[in-house]
Structure 1
Amino acid sequence: MADTYTLAGLATHHEEIRKSRFVALADAVQAPDAALAFIDKHRVADASHHCWAYRIGQQYRFSDDGEPSGTAGRPILQAIDGQQCDCVVVLVRRWFGGIKLGAGGLTRAYGNTAAQCLRLAEKVLIVDEIFVTGECGFGDMARVRARLTAQGVRFVEEVFGSDGVSWRMAMPRGHADALSRMFADMTRGQGRWRPDAAAD
């Protein structure tokens, strides 16, 4: 399975094509509501069109916003997919310059502006993570936490009890079995390790 990426932050790209000005804005989003909020936030009154697309896993939507059907939103979505991006929204604003581009010209203009914006953006690899609850005694706590942190484990939550600590941890799915064995060794089999039920 190919790697997929999201964006480290807001990215922008400007192009002028036959006197029309195109400005692409892209950012990472985790939910459709956040994508729509991004689009609303970046609308400007004087632009002729606000065409957009987002992909969040299997969820996606796009809009031509008054451009001929299929010439704007779909090419933007294809640019997202073509750059192996996920959890991303792209908005392309157009200011009409008086010269009609035709369906093919519009498709290329929107698709290329979006693709170039994503190409230039700082990307972050999306890691398939699972969540695990780990419990150990106070005596092992510092050593276990230091070793797991060094292996790339993220500690999401920490709760202290009367005889030890309980952590909720996130880790790459492919490393979970090896980390489970390491945890058992470090706690001499006394620790508890439970993957979230949703991890299956």
Structure 2
Amino acid sequence: MQPYPVPAQSVEISEEIKKSRFITLLQPTPGVEAAKAFIQQVKSQHPSARHHCWAFVAGAPSDSQQLGFSDDGEPAGTAGKPILGQLMGSGIGEITAVVVRYYGGIKLGTGGLVRAYGNGVQLALAQLSVIERVPQTEFLLRCDYAQISMVETLLQQVGGSIVQSEYGAAVDLRLALPAYEAAEIANRLFNLSRGSLVLQPV
């Protein structure tokens, strides 16, 4: 899995369209549970709003298993899908958007709703700063005490880390490595150790 951008912070913007107030909120949400918890939180903060429409990309942007959206009572396809379309178009992962609508008495029509919900998210995304998420994969490694410093040096170079270590006759390590470079790192380790160090997938 390649690295991908995720939100560095939350964003909230508000606009009025034909007397209806639209509040767009973006939130970092790593995972579907976090996304659903944020949606519930917004609903409890705006109990008198007519609609709480939302969409999320709860994992990597390429992971279609972690997508969700809802029109929350608006005509089908006028809210959740435009919100999700903006999120997917941004290429950002681990993000949820909720658009709260306080109805002002004037109907916007389907085209007007699609624009209102989509544009609100687009404006909020323009204000969002992101950081890079590097997906990690875990491996087991057994090495001699004399090889520890070589392993630690390599981990520093590639952005990996030691998750767990057990010191016995040899040293058993659980390592977290950038997933997209794992095969290359395994080769480097094998070559550096003249074939004595082999990563085992967890």
Q: Tell me the TM-score normalized by structure 1.
A: 0.84
1:115 and 2:122 are equivalent in the alignment: yes
- 1: distance between equivalents of 2:16 and 2:170? 62
Partners of 1:3 and 1:84 within 8 A in 2: no
1:74 and 2:76 are equivalent in the alignment: no
Show structure 1 runs of 5+ residues with no match. Answer: none
AA in 1 matched with 2:52: H
Which range moves more in the overlay, 78-87 or 176-185?
176-185
AA in 2 matched with 1:144: V
Partners of 2:2 and 2:135 within 8 A in 1: no
State the SS of the aligned residue for 2:69.
strand
1:142 and 2:144 are equivalent in the alignment: no
User: How do residues 12-161 of structure 1 correspond to structure 2 at under 5 angstroms?
Assistant: 12-43=12-43, 44-56=46-58, 57-59=63-65, 60-155=67-162, 157-161=163-167
Deviations 1:33-53 (A, max 9, x none): 221111001111122210001
Q: Tell me the TM-score normalized by structure 2.
A: 0.83
AA in 1 matched with 2:196: Q
How far 1:62 sits from its partner (Å)?
1.4
State the SS of the aligned residue for 1:42.
helix
Q: Let me know the Cα RMSD of the aligned residues.
A: 2.4
Which range moves more in the overlay, 32-41 or 133-142?
133-142
The alpha-carbon distance between structure 1 residues 36 and 174, as it changes in their structure 2 partners (threshold 3 A), is closer
AA in 2 matched with 1:39: I
The alpha-carbon distance between structure 1 residues 177 and 2, as it changes in their structure 2 partners (threshold 3 A), is closer
- 2: distance between equivalents of 1:98 and 1:166? 66
Show structure 2 runs of 5+ residues with no match. Answer: none
State the SS of the aligned residue for 1:124.
strand
How far 1:97 sits from its partner (Å)?
2.5
The equivalent of 1:190 in structure 2 is 196
Which range moves more in the overlay, 131-140 or 183-192?
183-192
How far 1:128 sits from its partner (Å)?
4.5
